Amino acid sequence: MAKSARPVIGIVSNFDVEKDGYFCSAHYVRAIERAGALPVILPYVNADEVAAVLDHISGVVLTGGGDFPAELYGASPHQAIQRMIPERDRYEFALARSALDRRIPILGICRGMQLLNVVAGGTIYPHTLDELTSAIDHRDGTPLDQTVHEVHVERETQLSMLCGEQSSSFRVNSLHHQAIKQLASEFVISARAADGIIEAIERPDRPFVIGVQWHPECMYDSEPACRRLIDNFAKACNRTEKEPAWPQRPTRSQKRA
């Protein structure tokens, strides 16, 4: 694709079933724009057209949203699994797989982080509170412009370098009832909450493939670590696949799930 003055970053849209329309939170768009990139909201197309979509963008944001079916990660159906959109699942899973194959930078947010793990062969808890009695309620209704808990960043990870070496822990918002159970083999853990829930993952063999369980786009102004994460994602979308967005790659000795 021809180089533009700013990298073009595709943001996966959500879907309003009742209104039969696509929508996207303005926080995603504003954060990507303020990071110096050009945001483009992606509707759902047929899976065989995903390659054509990726021909025109330099990075992908896998956004938050509803759940996807438990059978996609080998679990039994659960009454807490809601707001499923089959068209989104088919499109977004194909988009993520193709973007990973092409080594295109990816930022997975909330559902997007879980999707990255499932696409790579990992699993998630259908409803975290049912299986982890020590876990806090990560979906207690607190608005996304307010923090809920701290995340503790693993040392020598890409996330620690991208957010700033001094950001060993910081407070984040939270809006999820699911979490990673078994980590896919290609990923390492970047951060956890105090209750042990995995809050961030990354692919150390990719220029930029990072998933976070919180919503950094809603904390772009209030939390420097979130701002640096999104700014560095935009920079990564302007680099070649041989140019990582951090000084050096971490080892694969990070603690796994």
For helices 26-34 and 224-236, give the axis angle rounded to 10 degrees: 70
Query: Which residues, other chains included, contact 113 with Cβ-Cβ below 8 Å and sequence gap of 6+?
Result: 62, 180, 200, 201, 211, 212, 213
Q: Which of 110, 218, 226, 237 is catalytic?
A: 110
223 labelled catalytic: no
215 labelled catalytic: yes
217 labelled catalytic: yes
How would you class 36 by CB atoms within 10 Å of its CB: exposed for 0-12, middle for 13-18, buried for 19 or more?
Answer: middle
Per-residue tokens: 104: 């295109």
* CA distance linking residue 254 with residue 191, whole number of Å: 10
How would you class 134 by CB atoms within 10 Å of its CB: exposed for 0-12, middle for 13-18, buried for 19 or more?
Answer: exposed
Beta-bridged to residue 212, according to DSSP, are 109, 200
Beta-bridged to residue 23, according to DSSP, are 14
* CA distance linking residue 244 with residue 108, whole number of Å: 18
Per-residue tokens: 112: 């997007």
Q: Which of 127, 138, 176, 215 is catalytic?
A: 215
Q: Which of 199, 217, 223, 237 is catalytic?
A: 217
Q: Give catalytic residues, as residue numbers.
A: 110, 215, 217
